Structure 1
Amino acid sequence: MKSMFVVARWRPLGESESEQGEFSHTTKLANGGFMSSISITGNQTAAKNQSWTSPAAFREVFQPDENNKDVYNAIVIPSMPHVLEGGRSSFFAYGHSGSGKTHTIIGYENNEPGLCLMAAWELFDHVTAWNSRLDTNNTADNDKRLGLGFSLFELRKKSAFDLLNNHKECHVRQGADGKVHIRGETEMLEGGKVRVCPIVQKYCWTFDEFQQNITTALARRSVGSSSVHDQSSRTHAILELEIVCSSLVEARQAVVERQSELVPVGKRATDIMVEEQTKGVVPVPGGSWAPNPDYTTNQKRIDAAEAEKNEFEARVTAAEEKVDAILKDRFAFCLGGKMVFVDLAGAEYHQDKSSPASRQPALKQTPQERQEGQQINTDLLALKEVMRAWSTNQPRIPFRSSTLTMVLREHFMASDGGHSTMIVTVSPSSDQYAATLNSLKYGSLVGVAKGLF
């Protein structure tokens, strides 16, 4: 049974914000104490006496004195049993720049770890316990040893940038199979093989190995100076954790190899067919074509090339079926379990013209910031509509509305259902009243969808 929750998290005031103070905000329980509404009142001149109260849309409201561990215990731990049964859970941090999204999801160096690092630590606890039982039972089958695979990339405009592969640009495409693929550069190999490199998934067998790899990858993330924050994340960062085993890793690598072998064979079959068909006709006056009386199409040659292509296609299919078989075998129930953490780009440019806060002076933006802001808003508005449609079981979910929602399609459409949580990070600082109001409105629109809780 899939579920979607929205929570809010207030961050504490920064040192530079203490003089300006904070606006009033209160939380009220509703719906039998299961949901909360949030009221805010602006105390700036432009927003004086202007108040807004959300509907009962928030499952939890975290106060400034609650840390990442408190948030983790409340929203991540309850989803862990689902993941350890091979299910999926996803966590989105939404808010304006400087509101605490990256701190919540990723954490900062020499500070408390983010939700993703704490989740990885707990997953490795279960993985290590499984591997220890294999050792105790003297199991020699190393194929059943578990580890953690992860991919980490950022979305900017219409492209993905692989942070595990030196920030290589990748393309997001929907394939003939209906699935969305993130593919990098095309490599020419020996024997005419062609390999389209998928986005890198790094496999780690200890937590220390994982921590070292993710730290290196995160250092490649793009940041920029916005009008709000001098180290603003101008991209959406997506981290996927998956429980894997060595046989699954090898099977997936075999799929890539079989696909690379198919490319030259398929091209040769096409070339032979075109060549034979071209020889079998001649041009005639008027620009049309007629059968060539001096040449008989070599159908045996075409059939032989087509048969070879079918053979290599069958090898690809067999390799893909092996991957599916390993996941369905479920010798370990947690195999294939996934957690996705999304640190969304800052939403400070979203302006609601009907809001009293819109009367405040507009932020000064550079042309680059305006362009980035337009794309970010397109992504975030598309994500809101996908979440609402998904959580209410709508027959059509608009995944193709943006690159962000296309990439996340698999996680929403998992056949075993899934758990998703949006964390709306907000600031109580007086000069962030408008941005906070917009963030809370966005979260409440998602949170009040019918059938959400």
Structure 2
Amino acid sequence: MSARNSQTKLSVYVRWRPPTQSESVDGLIEQQSCAANTGSLLSISVKQNVGNGRPWTSPPAYKAIFRQDDDNATVYSATVAPAIPQVLAGGNCNFFAYGHSGSGKTHTIIGYEFKNERSLGLCLAASRKLFEALESLNQADDELGLGIGFSLFELRKKIAFDLLNGRTECHIRQGSDGKTHIRGQTEVLEGGKVRVRPLSQRACWTFESFREELRHGLGKRAVGSSSVHDQSSRTHAVLRLEIVNRQLMEARDALVDRESELVPVGKRATDVSIEEQTKAVMRSAEGGWIPNPDYRVNQDRIDKAEAEKAEYEARVAAAEEDINAILSSSKTKCLGANMVFVDLAGAEYHQEKGAQAPLAKQTPQERQEGRQINTDLLALKEVIRAWSSNQPRVSFRSSSLTMVLREHFLGGEGGASAMIVTVSPADRQYSATLNSLKYGSLVGVASS
């Protein structure tokens, strides 16, 4: 898959979560950060508190390192707030939380206290600022009618679960247009219409309604027990915010209707052609196929069916053009702009050679889940490295995670992208923290 023409960078941050009381008693990782001699990136050095192991020091890779007492509001101000003007100017932005189980990814991206302003997750804090900006635009021109449409789904293995539609299973497919599509159940409607339900998008016109809808959707997310955390996220959660208006939402609904009308017409045209061609041949004495002298293909019947199909295909094309026209003729550049927040599944890890603290024993299910998660995260790292270095081909099809993020990477010009690596200060989780920092440093160096 071709990469985009203009180079876009991804900034990498580290966030240390506060230690629990028991972790403080057991011992904490020795850590320090320093600026490189040249450039603005930071390196980080960590060492186990127990034993005589050598410290590990990263190359300059991190844009900022957040301390244990930095709250969500501080992280938001540094990582996401600068992207708000870019989105309002039409840019698209991507934000990832990466880290091992129990390191604070979900707290960072989503937050657990929906009404504590300092504890709002990055996605909620960003949506609040967007709604404030959209309200000002709507007051200046009441014809804009801008709001936020959002979709929320989780990935487990190669299946997407639509959290806004009762965790409906969705299939991830690459369409004839080269884009990745997430499609839900196929429904047979009145008159033979067939509708493939797209991934749900819910339009909200106030921050309060969005917060409630998001809370309800997140309640459908699956969690499981890992060796590190009894409420670990064993799936990748993807939240997409898009600036929309009612006209755009109605046009997209119309496109789904036109596509459902096309399905039976297209099938009928195919059936007619097959039926006529089948009648035009017969079995020979030798068992082969020869022209049937007693039947002449009814080309008028075929042409009529094909003409009807072309008519309905034109309706689909017109519906697509309506959407493009709404986006291109909007009075504001922000219509259709996206912010994507990804709460990655808890990264699994292996025992470092010579590590002082042994890892907890994993169950077979945990090991299987861990292998799939690591496959996705490795693919994501390689995609980010290829994307950031503007390589001619980016292997988005390496995993379902990178497939569904394809359009967001390719449409990322004009906006910021960032990864927040969340880590634990607990000495007993040193191996997990070290592996997370190594992953982040590889991404940060590749993106610098």
Return the letter of the residue paired with 1:403. S
| Structure 1 position 133, deviation (Å) | 1.5
Please say if 1:342 is aligned against 2:342: yes
Return the letter of the residue paired with 1:75. T
Q: What is the 5 A alignment of 1:131-150?
A: 131-135=138-142, 141=143, 144-150=144-150
Confirm or deny: 8 A CA contact 2:46 2:56 kept in the other structure: yes
Match in the other structure for 1:36? 42
Match in the other structure for 1:436? 433
Confirm or deny: 8 A CA contact 1:183 1:198 kept in the other structure: yes
Structure 1 residue matching 2:253: 3-state secondary structure: helix
Confirm or deny: 8 A CA contact 1:3 1:418 kept in the other structure: no
Return the letter of the residue paired with 1:22. L
After alignment, is 3-12 or 52-61 more displaced? 3-12
Q: What is the 5 A alignment of 1:404-415?
A: 404-414=401-411
Match in the other structure for 2:394? 397
Match in the other structure for 2:90? 86
> Relative to 1, partners in 2 of residues 1:330 and 1:416: Cα closer, same or farther, differing over 3 Å?
farther
Please say if 1:278 is aligned against 2:285: no
Match in the other structure for 2:62? 58
Q: What is the 5 A alignment of 1:236-251?
A: 236-251=236-251
CA distance in structure 2 between the partners assigned to 1:251 and 1:423 by the alignment? 36
Confirm or deny: 8 A CA contact 1:50 1:356 kept in the other structure: no
Return the letter of the residue paired with 1:420. S
Task: Give CA-to-partner distance per residue, 1:7-55, whole Å, 9 cap, x none.
Answer: 111111012312112010000011546110000011234xx33210000
Return the letter of the residue paired with 2:98. Y
Aligned residues: 439
Confirm or deny: 8 A CA contact 2:153 2:163 kept in the other structure: yes
Confirm or deny: 8 A CA contact 2:280 2:296 kept in the other structure: yes
| Structure 1 position 79, deviation (Å) | 1.4
Query: Tell me, which stretches of 5 or more residues in structure 1 are unaligned?
Result: 136-140
Please say if 1:157 is aligned against 2:144: no
CA distance in structure 2 between the partners assigned to 1:130 and 1:421 by the alignment? 27
CA RMSD of aligned residues (A): 1.4
Confirm or deny: 8 A CA contact 2:93 2:412 kept in the other structure: no
Please say if 1:198 is aligned against 2:198: yes
After alignment, is 110-119 or 181-190 more displaced? 110-119
CA distance in structure 1 between the partners assigned to 2:16 and 2:412 by the alignment? 34
After alignment, is 107-116 or 92-101 more displaced? 107-116
Task: Give CA-to-partner distance per residue, 1:80-136, whole Å, 9 cap, x none.
Answer: 12111111001000000110100000000365110000000000011111111224x
Return the letter of the residue paired with 2:319. A
Confirm or deny: 8 A CA contact 1:93 1:422 kept in the other structure: yes
Match in the other structure for 2:121? 114
Task: Give CA-to-partner distance per residue, 1:262-318, whole Å, 9 cap, x none.
Answer: 000000000000000011110113331111111100000001100110110111011
Please say if 1:297 is aligned against 2:287: no
| Structure 1 position 356, deviation (Å) | 4.1
Identity of aligned residues (%): 62
Task: Give CA-to-partner distance per residue, 1:366-410, whole Å, 9 cap, x none.
Answer: 111111001000000000000000000001101000000000000
Match in the other structure for 2:178? 178
CA distance in structure 1 between the partners assigned to 2:50 and 2:377 by the alignment? 28
CA distance in structure 2 between the partners assigned to 1:79 and 1:185 by the alignment? 35
Confirm or deny: 8 A CA contact 2:90 2:414 kept in the other structure: no
Structure 1 residue matching 2:340: 3-state secondary structure: strand
Q: 1:23 pairs with 22, 29, 46, which one?
A: 29
Confirm or deny: 8 A CA contact 2:128 2:207 kept in the other structure: yes
Confirm or deny: 8 A CA contact 1:87 1:336 kept in the other structure: no
Match in the other structure for 1:311? 311
CA distance in structure 1 between the partners assigned to 2:354 and 2:253 by the alignment? 55
Match in the other structure for 2:230? 230
Structure 2 residue matching 1:242: 3-state secondary structure: strand
CA distance in structure 2 between the partners assigned to 1:31 and 1:6 by the alignment? 19
| Structure 1 position 77, deviation (Å) | 1.2
Task: Give CA-to-partner distance per residue, 1:307-358, whole Å, 9 cap, x none.
Answer: 11011011101101111111111311211111000000001x22276x543x
Q: 1:361 pairs with 358, 363, 369, which one?
A: 358
Structure 1 residue matching 2:14: 3-state secondary structure: strand
Q: 1:96 pairs with 89, 96, 100, which one?
A: 100
Structure 1 residue matching 2:312: 3-state secondary structure: helix
Q: What is the 5 A alignment of 1:247-262?
A: 247-262=247-262
Structure 1 residue ranges, 4+ long, deviating more than 6 angstroms after superposition: none
Confirm or deny: 8 A CA contact 2:171 2:184 kept in the other structure: yes
After alignment, is 238-247 or 14-23 more displaced? 14-23
Structure 1 residue matching 2:141: 3-state secondary structure: helix
CA distance in structure 2 between the partners assigned to 1:240 and 1:257 by the alignment? 23
Match in the other structure for 2:130? 123
CA distance in structure 1 between the partners assigned to 2:197 and 2:322 by the alignment? 20
| Structure 1 position 72, deviation (Å) | 0.6
